Amino acid sequence: MREKILLGASDLFLNYGFKSVTMDDIANSLGISKKTIYQHFDNKTKLVEATSMYLFELISEGINQICALEKNPIEEIYSIKQFIMEHLKDEKSSPQYQLQKYYPNIFSTLKDKQFKVMQTCVIDNLNRGIEQELYRKSINVDFISRIYFSLMLAIKDKALFPSRQFSMKMLMSNYLEYHLRGICTPKGLETLNKFITSNQT
């Protein structure tokens, strides 16, 4: 039952936001009583925390599986983007922004966990890109990996990028191209341009 509640809550939170979804909404959606939810989670904050960590583990596992395939590093970045967008419902409800605003302690814990996973994945991607001569040898891998993570958080800031002007899909696509054009060699740019062209047609 706990797993069922987490799945149902995740779906509602991602579609409508952590703030607006009530315990009643979750109970009604799952066809169970609110009392059943409270048997597993003491309050909404505990449920939000458990749901956030559940989604984090799910996405981390998916990213690890994509990284294990050792694809072309440029293609790998786009595969991870696609996977995350699908699992976060294109971030319609701005989950990160709402967590940061209404549940800052949960957001802070989650951010630390995300940083560790992203660091491992991004550093590996950068090193393989350098080895394959797709990324410039002169880049500072540690610096780029941290900038990558920082800007990934920044584009989800609704004060900076209001959703009425910028869709998450548009932000992610533009950001990844911006990131890659800054670190690619001529060979890498050729690969990137081919990839973008083939995915537009």
- CATH topology (fold) of 56-200: Tetracycline Repressor; domain 2 (1.10.357)
Q: Give which of 162, 159, 182 is closest to 171, Cα–Cα.
A: 162
Give 117-164 pLDDT, tens digit per residue: 888 899 999 999 999 999 999 999 999 999 999 999 899 888 899 888
Backbone angles phi, psi at 158, to 5 degrees: -70, -20
Least confident range of 61-75, 127-141, 170-184: 61-75
Where in the chain are the domains?
56-200
In this structure, the number of other CB atoms found within 10 A of the CB of residue 137 comes to 8
Q: Rounded to two decimals, what is the model's pTM?
A: 0.85
**pLDDT at residue 93 is higher than 70:** no
